[in-house]
Amino acid sequence: MITPTRRIQVSIPRNPYEIIIGKGILENIGKELANLAIPKGTKILIVSNEDVAIPYSKVFVKSLKGNGYLPTLKIIQAGESQKTPKTIADIHDAAFSAKLERGSLMIALGGGVVGDMTGFAAATWLRGIGVVQVPTTLLAMVDASIGGKTGVNHKGGKNLIGAFHQPKLVLIDPCTLKTLPKREFRAGMAEVIKYAVIGDPNLFKLLEECTSLKSLDSLTDNTIEEIIERSCLSKARIVSQDEHESGIRAVLNYGHTFGHTIEALCGYGTWLHGEAVAMGMTAIGELAIQLGSWKKDDAERQEMLLKKSCLPTKWPILEIKNVLTCLQGDKKVKRGKVRFIVPNRIGEVDIRDDISDEQIAICLKKLSKG
C-alpha cells in the first residue's frame, strides 16, 4: 500500500529544516534537494557503508544525477569501532578528492554511526558545509539523524569529540528497514518507547495496541510510519526548544544514564545501545517507584512494551561500587551530581540531580536480586 508522505518541521532558530517520511522516497532525493533550492551542478559526497550502499545507493545516485547534481560515493567500514578521528580523516580525503566547495553538500546514507560521522566531517570541512541525513536504521530515523549532534568516539569515551551541526534535511524511507537486522530494529524500538514514556501517552497506547514490536514484519506500513512520525515529532519538539542541551533536551537521556553504565561496564559491543537503554529504563523505573514518583502499574506497562520488543529488561550482574563510580564519569554529571530523568507518569518525566548514592545503591541491590 502506498502511504502519503509525512512532513515535520524542526523549528530550530536560525537552522530550521524538514523531516520527510515516506515509503520509497529514497528515489526522490534529487527532487527534494531541488525543492530546497540547492543548485544543479552542486557537488555531493554521499557517505555510506556496504550494508546500505549495496541495496540503496544505485537508486539514490540515479536520482541525484537525474536532477543535475554531481554525486561521489564514499564507502566507510561499518560499526561503532570505526567511529574514530581516522575515519573522519578518510572522509575529508574523499571531500578533497571530490573538490568539495563551500556550497557543496555531504549526505549521510546509513545508521547513526554514518550519520554522526558524516555530520562531523561536514561540520569541519571548509569550516562547515551542508549535510543531509538519510537514516536507514530505526534508531537513526527516530533519534540520531535529528537535532544536529555529530561526532566520533575518543579512547576516553563515546562521542567525546563532536560538534552541533544541524542538517538541511532529514529524509526517512521506512522501506530501508526491510534489510535491517532484527536485533538492530529492536534496539531502535527502545528509543521509540523512550519517547512514549517521556512525553507521548498516545504513542504509548499505540505501542500497547500492537501485538508485537519485535520486527518490521509484525507491523503494518501505516503503523511503522506513525511510530516513526510520532517519535520524530517528539524529538523535533524538544530540540527546537533547546538546541544545545542546556535544559529540556536532557529528557532525551531517559534510561540512558544507567544504560551508559551498562555499556561501559559490560564492555562496548556486548549490548547494543538500545538494549542497554531498555535495561536502563527498567532500572530508572524501579528507582522512580522507590522514590514514590511513579506507580508500579506504570513500570509494569513500560516493561510489557520492552518485552513485546524482545528487549532485555533484567539488570546485568555488576558490582554496585563500579556502577556508582561509572555514574560519576557520565558526560552529564554537573558539579558531582548525577542527573537522572525520572518518570512521574506515562508521558511525563522530571530532570533530577538530588538522588543520593545510598538511594541508587538500594535500587541496584533490589535489581540485582531480580
Q: Which does 326 bind (CB under 5 to 8 A by kind): ligand GLY, ligand NAD, none?
A: none
User: For ligand GLY, what does the binding mask look like between residues 276 and 315, x meaning CB under 6 A?
Assistant: ----------------------------------------
The single residue among 71, 110, 285, 343 that binds ligand NAD, judged by CB under 6 A, is 110
Asked if 167 is part of the footprint of ligand NAD (rule: CB under 6 A), the reply reads: no
User: CA-CA distance, 221 to 216, in Å (whole number)?
Assistant: 9
Which residue is listed with cell 502506498? 2
Contact 75, 39 (CB under 8 A): no
The single residue among 90, 143, 263, 298 that binds ligand NAD, judged by CB under 6 A, is 143
Q: Minimal distance in Å, beta carbon 161 to ligand GLY? A: 16
Q: Could you tell me the CA-to-CA distances from 289 to 46, 154, 273, 316, 349 in Å, in that order?
A: 47, 36, 24, 20, 13
User: CA-CA distance, 320 to 322, in Å (whole number)?
Assistant: 5
Stretch touching ligand NAD by CB under 6 A, among 11-19, 38-46, 136-144, 286-294? 136-144
User: For ligand GLY, what does the binding mask look like between residues 133 and 172, x meaning CB under 6 A?
Assistant: ----------x---x-x-----------------------
Site for ligand NAD in 325-354 (CB under 6 A): none
The single residue among 32, 90, 173, 184 that binds ligand NAD, judged by CB under 6 A, is 184
User: CA-CA distance, 196 to 191, in Å (whole number)?
Assistant: 9
Give the sign of the dihedral formed by CA 337, CA 341, CA 344, CA 350: positive
Beta bridge mates, 107: 46, 132
Site for ligand NAD in 263-292 (CB under 6 A): 273
The single residue among 249, 260, 273, 339 that binds ligand GLY, judged by CB under 6 A, is 249
Asked if 330 is part of the footprint of ligand GLY (rule: CB under 6 A), the reply reads: no
The single residue among 71, 112, 199, 285 that binds ligand NAD, judged by CB under 6 A, is 112
Asked if 52 is part of the footprint of ligand NAD (rule: CB under 6 A), the reply reads: yes
Nearer to ligand GLY (CB atom), residue 30 or residue 167: 167
Cell of 361: 545503591
Phi first, then psi: what are they for 158, rounded to 5°?
Answer: -75, 140
Asked if 149 is part of the footprint of ligand NAD (rule: CB under 6 A), the reply reads: yes
Strands 157-164 and 43-49 turn out to be unpaired
Q: Minimal distance in Å, beta carbon 191 to ligand GLY? A: 8
Give how many residues touch ligand NAD by CB under 6 A. Answer: 29
For residue 143, the surrounding DSSP H or E stretch is: none
Q: What is the DSSP letter of 251?
A: G
Asked if 111 is part of the footprint of ligand NAD (rule: CB under 6 A), the reply reads: yes
Asked if 252 is part of the footprint of ligand GLY (rule: CB under 6 A), the reply reads: yes
Q: Which ranges of the chain would DSSP assign to H, the alpha helix?
A: 29-35, 50-66, 85-97, 112-124, 138-139, 182-199, 201-209, 221-241, 256-266, 273-291, 296-308, 320-328, 357-369
User: CA-CA distance, 185 to 272, in Å (whole number)?
Assistant: 11
Q: Convert 31-67 to b/e letters by CB count within 10 Å (16 or more is b).
A: ebbeeeebeeebbbbbbbbebbbeebbeebbebbeeb
- Listed in sequence order, the residues at least 6 apart from 153 whose beta carbon sits closer than 8 Å to its beta carbon are 80, 83, 84, 159, 160, 161
Nearer to ligand NAD (CB atom), residue 147 or residue 343: 147
Nearer to ligand NAD (CB atom), residue 175 or residue 320: 175
Asked if 136 is part of the footprint of ligand NAD (rule: CB under 6 A), the reply reads: yes
Contact footprint for ligand NAD (CB under 6 A): 49, 51-52, 78-80, 83, 110-114, 116, 136-137, 139-140, 143-144, 147, 149, 158-159, 176, 179-180, 184, 187, 273
Contact footprint for ligand GLY (CB under 6 A): 143, 147, 149, 245, 249, 252
